[in-house]
A and B are shown apart, each in its own frame.
Chain A
C-alpha cells in the first residue's frame, strides 16, 4: 500500500438517514448511514418508533389478557408469540397440556412459520428488485391466513391459544384443507426457486454479501436462520423440544458460508421441513380434550421462569416473574429474536454498498413491532 496521501478534493462523508420512512426498512427502523461514495463506513441503528410498552403493560393485565398483547409484537407471526407466552405460563403454573392441543399448536406454529417466511421471501426479493416473487409469496400467504381465519376468525392477530390449551378445537374438515395447502405449497416452492435460486443476478446480489462466521454470530447473540446460516446448530425445536416437536421427524438446515444466499436457502428449506412437520402432525393427530386442568383463578406461586421457542425469526424467549400474590405477572420480559438479530445488522452492513443495506435488512428478517415491543 502506498503512503496515505492527502485527498485532493474535499470529499466529505455523506450522512444519510435511511428510514424511519423508507420502503425497505420493513417498518420504522431508522439507520443513520455514513457513506463514502456508496460504501457504508458507519451505521447507527435507531429504533423505538413503535414502542408501546408491552412489557410494562403486561404487569397490569391478568394472565389471559396478555396473550392478546403478544399478538402485537411479531404481528406477522402472532401464533408463535401466543405459543411462547402460553407455554411459559404453563411452565410457571406446572400445568399439563393435552396431547391433542400440543399437536394443534404445533400445526399452527408451523403454518405460521410458512406464512412468516412467505412475507420474508416476498419482501426480501422485492428489496433486491424481483417484484414478481412478492406477489407469488403473498398469494400463498393468503392461503395460510385463510386457514387461520377459519380456525380462529382472525387473519393477523389471532389470540389463538390459551393457558393450558386452546380456545377452540379445529373445525371439521380443516385438517383436509391444511393437507391440501401443504400440497399446494409444495408445488409453489419450485416457482420461487425458479425465479431466484439459480438466477445469476440473485446469486451475485446475495452470495458473499453479509458474511458472518459462526463464532461471530454466536458472540453477537444472533438466533434463528441468521445463526444457522453461519453453520451453528441451534434450533430450540430440537435442543429443548416444546409443544409436540419431540414426536416429529425433521431436519434443521445449516449453512456453510454464512452469507445472504445461505440464509435464503435455509429459509426455503424450512418451508419444506414445516410442511413435513405439519403432515406428520396431521397424520398422528390424537383425539382428546384441548384444554388441560387449569385452575379457574390463575395465580402462580412466587417464582420465575424462562422458556424459549423457535419462532420463524429465531429464539423467542419469555422470562416471567410472579410474586405469588397478584393475578398478573410481577415482571414480564421478552427476548425477541428480531431485536437480537438487529444487533448483527451493523457488523453485517459496514463495508458494503447502499444497495446491500436493503438486502441485509431483509436477510435478518426483523419485524419492528417485535424489536420495539
Chain B
C-alpha cells in the first residue's frame, strides 16, 4: 500500500516536473526542474529497492551532468530570440513524427503484455553467491552482462575522444 502510494506520488511529480521543464520560459528554471525531476526518479529507484542506482542517479545526473548544463546555460546568452527557420512548420512536423512513434510504442507494449501473467517485482531472484544490492549488481555486470558492460565503456571512451577532438581543433 505505502509502496503504491509512493510510486504514484512520485510518478505524478516526475511527469509534472517533466512538463514544467519544457514549458518554463526561463532556461535556468527548466534546468532546476530537471534536477528536481532527477531527484524524484532517484526516489523512485529507492522505492524499487535499487539504492545503488538511486545514489548513482543523483551523483552522476543531478550532481554532475546538470551542473554542466547550468554552466553552459549561464555562459551563453539565451535572451535573444531563436532565428526563424526556413520552414516555419518544421517543429510541428517533427512533433507529429515523434508523437506517432510514442503512440506506436505504447500500443506495442499494450498488445504485447495483453493476456500475459503479470510478473512480480519481488520474484525470487536467481541465487547469487554474494549478498547485498551493490554486490549483486557487480556480480551480474561482471558475469552475465560482461560484454554489454565492456561495449558501453568502449562507447563512452569513443565519445570522450570525439569530444576532445571536437573541442581542440589542432592537436
Contact = CB atoms under 8 A, between A and B. Distances in A.
Interface string B137-171: 00000000000000000000000000000000110
A10 B170 contact: no
B169 A11 contact: no
Nearest to A10: B77
B91 interface: no
B77 A2 contact: no
Contacts of A37: 75
B70 to A, nearest CB: 15
Interface in A4-29: 9-12
A9 B170 contact: no
B76 A10 contact: yes
B76 A2 contact: no
Contacts of B169: 2
Interface of A: 1-2, 9-12, 37
The B contact surface, by secondary structure, is loop
B81 to A, nearest CB: 11
B85 interface: no
A2 B75 contact: no
B25 to A, nearest CB: 18
15 contacts: A1-B170, A2-B169, A2-B170, A9-B75, A9-B76, A9-B77, A10-B76, A10-B77, A10-B78, A10-B80, A11-B75, A11-B76, A11-B77, A12-B77, A37-B75
A353 to B, nearest CB: 16
Interface in B57-89: 75-78, 80
Nearest to B80: A10
Closest 5 pairs (CB-CB, A-B) = A9-B76, A2-B169, A10-B77, A12-B77, A10-B80
A10 B77 CA distance: 6
Contacts, number: 15
Interface size on B, as a range, is under 10
B28 to A, nearest CB: 15
A274 to B, nearest CB: 48
Nearest to A3: B169
A16 to B, nearest CB: 15
A354 B109 CA distance: 56
Nearest to A12: B77
Contacts of A2: 169-170
Nearest to B168: A2
Interface in B25-81: 75-78, 80
A204 to B, nearest CB: 24
Contacts of B80: 10
A12 B75 CA distance: 9
Given A2-B169, A9-B77, 13 more contacts: A1-B170, A2-B170, A9-B75, A9-B76, A10-B76, A10-B77, A10-B78, A10-B80, A11-B75, A11-B76, A11-B77, A12-B77, A37-B75
A12 B80 CA distance: 11
A36 B161 CA distance: 26
B168 to A, nearest CB: 10
Contacts of A12: 77
A89 to B, nearest CB: 58
Contacts of A11: 75-77
Nearest to B169: A2
A37 B75 CA distance: 8
A12 B78 CA distance: 10
A335 B44 CA distance: 73
Contacts of B77: 9-12
A55 B70 CA distance: 53
A308 B78 CA distance: 56
B85 to A, nearest CB: 16
A323 to B, nearest CB: 60
Nearest to B170: A2
Contacts of A9: 75-77
Nearest to B72: A9
Among A1, A2, A9, find the residue whose CB has the most chain B CB atoms closer than 10 A: A9
A9 B73 CA distance: 10
A9 B78 CA distance: 8
A11 B80 CA distance: 11
Contacts of B170: 1-2
Contacts of A1: 170
A354 to B, nearest CB: 15
Contacts of B75: 9, 11, 37
Contacts of B78: 10
